[in-house]
Structure 1
Amino acid sequence: MQQANFQVDSRLATLLSQDYSTTEKALKELVDNAWDADAEEVVIELPEPLTDGPIVVRDDGNGMTRQELESHYLKIASDRRMRTDGRTSKKRRPIKGKKGIGKFAGLMSASVMCLTTMARGQKISFTLGIQDLESASDIENLTLPLDVSECGSEDHGTCVTLTHLRQGLRYPSADRLRQELIMEYGRQKDFKIIINGKPLGIDDLEGEFTEVQGTFPDAGDATLRFAISKKKSGLRRPGITLMVEGKAVGKPSYFGLENSDEIPARLLRKLYGEVEADGLMDYVTAGWDSVIENSEAYLQIVTFVQANLVEAFRSTHGMEMRMAHARLLRIPRHPATQPTNIRPPIPRSSGRAVGAQRRRFALLV
């Protein structure tokens, strides 16, 4: 019986790098790699438009030894989740990398990629270019020279430098990159991203940003930071995250505003932010999934959050809120006679009663 073997064309890496529709999406893949490496800080440097400066993505993650580099990183389509329980080794983060092709993300925007990594006293560097891949017939036969040297035993992390940016592609934008990263990493307190010297924050969301502070008898000091997106569609992870001593408590929520008739649900889905209230520490449940909701301290924070959110929505979407409430009342109105004060909805006791109440209500206004 004769045998045949698969051959991996060297163009595979180039094709995999084209899996990303924009440079910013490709750079996010490199940030995801840093997350999976348990990094606490990622520093991204983008060149000025129309210059020949490099793109640099540097993290302080675990780094790789030569054995790890050869057995894991250089193995195409290696799924990190298959080697673990789906979480990172130290910080127990859910692993982002799924396809094992993020290593080629940089080649989407640049012709040359240089990687330097440090771990356990070993520093390794190599350079990979598009021309190297195109000149080799089989990627398995591609020689990749490694520069191996010693480093401090405490040094760790990985740096990817991208040079010779591809002609014909739009220059990477710091603002667009922030928009790409904000939804996924904007609330992470143990994962700091710095882009061209500015840390990623809630104020990077494209929309109206507000920060307000308050002091309360039982809850102490609190700071609310939020933005209302300008996008027509809702956000992927909307809501306000409760932060206590730098740690998120439960999932983002609307602090009861989802039960209000004043703010439509589609507007709430444009909301993104956090409220820091360290004074709630004594009321956080053991699993950090919620707080004791009937505590006076928590109710003070809820009132604080609700009041500021309603005021912000009235300022940015007041007309839309009034129109939505008018539709809820089912009373047709001309825009010129639209009331400025929202009246409470009429109770639906019965068909006749509701009709009579509506007629009386129309006569009053």
Structure 2
Amino acid sequence: MSSESPYRMTLSLNVLNHLGLNLYSNVPSVLSEVVANAWDADAENVWITIDPTTDHEKIVIQDNGHGMTQQEVNERYLLVGYQRREHGSERTKKFNRLPMGRKGIGKLSLFSIARTIKVRTVKEGQRSAFRMNLDDIKQKIGGQEAGTYEPNPLPTDDIDFERGTQIVITDPKKRIHQAASALRTRLARRFSIIGSAHHFAVFIDDEEISHVDRDYYHKVQYLWTFGDENSLYEKLCAKAESIEKLYGLLDSGDEIRGWVGTAKESGQKLQDRHGDNLNRIVVLVRGKVAQEDILEEFGETGIFSSYLIGEVHADFLDADDQDDIATSSRQRIIEDDPRYEVLKAFIGKTLKKIQNEWTRLRNEEGSKRALEIPAINDWFKELNPDLRKDAKSLFGKINTLTETPDKKRELLRSGVLAFEHLNHKGKLKELDTVSEEKPGSGSTYFCRSGRHRGNFANSSRKCNSWIDVEKYLIRGIHAKAFSWSVV
């Protein structure tokens, strides 16, 4: 019997499109894959240079890692689906790092944003250089020569570095208008291993990225940490008014570290200067973002959830001896994986605990601010202990509203009047209808303009700020106390 198999497997263009050619749509996600490769190559420095000149746009990423020989280029870099962890040690040789790469398709992500990629690499004095073109790949793999593509060799005499790899991205699919500052911020948030502590520095246009570029630690008002033996997160969130350490031990016996915080303000105040939403809890694995926002898994609707921000490091999700838990895009985790289910259960219980503590802290803060108003302070002193507890709850709810100090003072005065009239009528419990939950399908609301009112499910498109519900309900209770018609 002939040893040659009569069977052939062809890698189609459609498969390549799903694997990487159309994997990402933004520059930070693509560059994250290149930075991760540099980490795996034991690089100490990565330099990213952006040239936005019209018709000459390009991005250059260069590292001083171990580089590749021509044989390694063919057997590893150009082999789509190369399983690094099955062919190498569990950790890198120089810095004993846990590798980030796993699927072997990250290099294809470059074609998500550009048509031409040039690669130059040096290892132990051996220089290699080649160019890949997206249109050529499609023509080769999409035609009769399916499954094989041969990059064009480039001269190596212009390579001016002694070790590492340089990737030049040209012929972008769309304008590279990404400002260096925005890219710096977004890359800083995608990695926790950038900095001298990890012997890994990343520069954009010669300016080094640091944890400060994440631009959200200063927004944390109340902080909960787990696995923070060195108080790293306490130092980063230096403006936090309250800090509590929690255990990071999961029911499975695995441990996580990280932090969850609540910001002082929500809504637009919880966006950065580039317009990115910070109201999320990211999951990082081996120092790189694996899940953009685990909050999505819980469907939280309370005002509390709109103040949340955090980072959860869960390296147990990427053990070498277990199946890959990441989706092909490397931006999400397979939702029904048992390991992820355990993590979600832990986060869910932790958020419930944090919510109770947050409510208490906000009530205390709201009471403190309310009692700074002399008239309200005098009124509060006349209440018995039980009524004071109800009053503090009302102050706390008003304190959660995203309003100016003057507007909150106005709401506090209205709240006190509502409190008195409802108490007089024996209907003080109606204050509980000022819910801290986002209105459901049967809730009544007023839109921010005050012109619309009705059922949330039927009219939600007319009102794009559900926090305003609380303002109008407070005023509604005030009106109801005087037997006015509200809705």
TM over 0.5: yes
Q: What's the offset of the Cα at 1:49?
A: 6.6
2:282 to 232, 236, 240: 236
Counterpart code for 1:158: T
Higher strand share: 1
> Counterpart in 2 of 1:194?
203
Counterpart code for 2:31: L
> Counterpart in 2 of 1:348?
none
Counterpart code for 1:71: E
Gaps of 5+ in 1: 211-222, 239-263, 273-320, 341-355
Give the direction of change, closer, same or farther, for the CA distance of 1:208–1:328 in structure 2 (3 Å limit): closer
Give the direction of change, closer, same or farther, for the CA distance of 1:133–1:206 in structure 2 (3 Å limit): same
Residues 45 and 55, structure 1, Cα contact 8 Å, conserved in 2: yes
> Counterpart in 2 of 1:84?
88
Counterpart code for 2:36: D
> Counterpart in 1 of 2:166?
159
Partners of 1:208 and 1:111 in 2: CA distance: 37
Q: Give a deviation string over 1:16-36, Cα, whole Å, max 9, x none.
A: 121123221011111111111
Partners of 1:139 and 1:175 in 2: CA distance: 42
The alignment of Structure 1 onto Structure 2 pairs a total of residues equal to 262
Matches within 5 A, 1:137-152: 137=143, 138=145, 140-147=147-154
Gaps of 5+ in 2: 220-233, 240-262, 264-269, 271-276, 285-303, 313-356, 375-383, 392-487
Q: Give a deviation string over 1:262-315, Cα, whole Å, max 9, x none.
A: xx999785599xxxxxxxxxxxxxxxxxxxxxxxxxxxxxxxxxxxxxxxxxxx
Post-superposition, which runs of at least 4 consecutive aligned residues in structure 1 deviate over 6 A?
A: 264-268, 332-335, 360-363
> Counterpart in 1 of 2:445?
none
Q: What's the offset of the Cα at 1:92?
A: 1.5
Residues 122 and 165, structure 2, Cα contact 8 Å, conserved in 1: yes
> Counterpart in 2 of 1:174?
180
Partners of 2:91 and 2:61 in 1: CA distance: 23
Partners of 2:122 and 2:131 in 1: CA distance: 15
> Counterpart in 1 of 2:300?
none
Give the direction of change, closer, same or farther, for the CA distance of 1:83–1:266 in structure 2 (3 Å limit): farther
Give the direction of change, closer, same or farther, for the CA distance of 1:339–1:3 in structure 2 (3 Å limit): farther
The DSSP-based 3-state class of the residue aligned with 1:72 is helix
1 or 2 for the larger relative contact order (CA 8 Å, sep ≥6)?
1
Q: Give a deviation string over 1:336-356, Cα, whole Å, max 9, x none.
A: 54789xxxxxxxxxxxxxxx8
Partners of 1:163 and 1:44 in 2: CA distance: 14
> Counterpart in 1 of 2:48?
44
Q: What's the offset of the Cα at 1:73?
A: 1.1
Give the direction of change, closer, same or farther, for the CA distance of 1:325–1:149 in structure 2 (3 Å limit): closer
Residues 126 and 146, structure 1, Cα contact 8 Å, conserved in 2: yes
Give the direction of change, closer, same or farther, for the CA distance of 1:233–1:150 in structure 2 (3 Å limit): same
Aligned-pair Cα RMSD in Å:
4.3
> Counterpart in 2 of 1:257?
none
Residues 186 and 201, structure 1, Cα contact 8 Å, conserved in 2: no
Partners of 2:103 and 2:311 in 1: CA distance: 31
> Counterpart in 2 of 1:94?
98
Q: What's the offset of the Cα at 1:5?
A: 1.4
TM-score (norm 1): 0.59
Q: Give a deviation string over 1:177-233, Cα, whole Å, max 9, x none.
A: 3233223146532100001221101221234759xxxxxxxxxxxx95557774552
Q: What's the offset of the Cα at 1:88?
A: 1.8
Q: Determine whether 1:325 maps to 2:361.
A: yes
Counterpart code for 2:361: H
Residues 57 and 176, structure 2, Cα contact 8 Å, conserved in 1: no
> How much identity, in percent, do the aligned residues show?
23
Q: Give a deviation string over 1:52-94, Cα, whole Å, max 9, x none.
A: 2211010001100011111111111112111124322221211
